[in-house]
């Protein structure tokens, strides 16, 4: 538990190997992003130069937005591109490990994904205090993707937010809430038959509330 003090450094780029030599990782990370956009992605798909700039704008838009509600429709609407093109660009950015796409689980819900980012790309365009909620979810999905293949974000039948995620471990399904400051079992009111957990940015376990950084040990 005493390694919790390193969690903020991890979220702000100290997970990158080049952070051992670079005090400020973000200029290097920005260069990596531009190489991915201008060299790696064109090797995967035939795109025009203006399309590469649109992808740059997509990353900036996601980084500077609240994490909830970022999906095909909101990106398409805000950048003035079709949903078809939006989906194409997001799939390419996921293949190059910049974005992460998580599909919903629920009854009669629109099957639009929630779009998250690889830690710490979000901080190229947003400051830590604003981005912290998004970083927590980025980290959560990053850790899950190394262990579980089936995980979803949750929506109600009317599209409003419920607890954040469901993990299907093949043996059981677990309902997860991220950033559970001030939240407890009431967050899962009306939900039964599942294991439940809240992960928050703290080093003190408290009932179903668990330190978020421990997911890095999965």
Residue 3 pLDDT grade (very low, low, confident, very high; cuts 50, 70, 90): confident
Res 193: pLDDT: 53
d(CA 199, CA 165): 11
Quick one: average pLDDT of 85-94?
A: 96
List alpha helices for the chain, DSSP H.
7-9, 26-35, 41-44, 49-63, 72-79, 83-95, 128-145
Quick: pLDDT tens for 162-183.
Answer: 658 888 887 888 888 887 555 5
Decide: 119 and 98 in contact? Cβ < 8 Å: no
Q: Which of 80-84, 103-107, 131-135, 138-142 has the lowest mean pLDDT?
A: 103-107
d(CA 168, CA 160): 22
What does 157-171 look like in DSSP terms, one character per residue?
Answer: TTS-EEEEEEEE-SS
Averaged pLDDT of the chain:
87
> What's 206's DSSP letter?
B
* Segment 121-135 mean pLDDT: 95
- Please report the pLDDT score of residue 186 as a whole number: 53
Per-residue model confidence (pLDDT) at position 159: 47
| Spatial contact of 135 and 121, defined as CB atoms under 8 Å apart | no
Rounded Cα gap, residues 198 and 150, in angstroms: 19
Report the percentage of the chain scoring pLDDT > 90.
Answer: 58
Q: If pLDDT is split at 50, 70 and 90, which confidence band does 28 have?
A: very high
pLDDT of 15 over the 80 cut: yes
Of 22-31, 79-88, 104-113, where does mean pLDDT reach its minimum?
Answer: 104-113
Q: At what angle do helices 72-79 and 83-95 cross, to 10 degrees?
A: 110
Q: How far apart are the C-alpha atoms of 144 and 68, rounded to whole Å?
A: 19
Higher pLDDT, 40 or 174: 40
Check residues 68 and 24 and name the one with the higher pLDDT.
24
* Structure token pair of residue 51: 């399309």
**Phi (first) and psi of residue 192, to 5 degrees:** -140, 165
């Amino acid at each position: 538990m005493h390694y919790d003090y390193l969690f903020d450094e991890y979220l702000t780029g100290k997970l990158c190997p080049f952070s051992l030599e670079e005090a400020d990782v973000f200029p290097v990370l920005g260069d990596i992003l531009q190489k991915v956009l201008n060299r790696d992605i064109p090797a995967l798909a035939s795109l025009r130069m203006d399309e590469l700039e649109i992808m740059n704008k997509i990353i900036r838009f996601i980084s500077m937005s609240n994490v909830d509600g970022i999906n095909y429709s909101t990106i398409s609407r805000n950048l003035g591109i079709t949903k078809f093109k939006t989906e194409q660009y997001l799939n390419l950015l996921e293949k190059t490990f910049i974005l992460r796409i998580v599909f919903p689980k629920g009854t009669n819900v629109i099957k639009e994904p929630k779009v998250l980012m690889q830690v710490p790309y979000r901080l190229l365009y947003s400051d830590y205090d604003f981005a912290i909620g998004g970083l927590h979810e980025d980290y959560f999905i990053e850790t899950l993707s190394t262990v579980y293949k089936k995980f979803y974000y949750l929506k109600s039948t009317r599209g409003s937010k419920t607890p954040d995620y469901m993990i299907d471990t093949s043996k059981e399904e677990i309902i997860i809430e991220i950033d559970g400051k001030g939240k407890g079992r009431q967050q899962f009111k009306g939900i039964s038959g599942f294991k439940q957990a809240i992960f928050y940015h703290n080093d003190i376990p408290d009932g179903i509330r668990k330190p978020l950084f421990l997911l890095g040990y999965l």
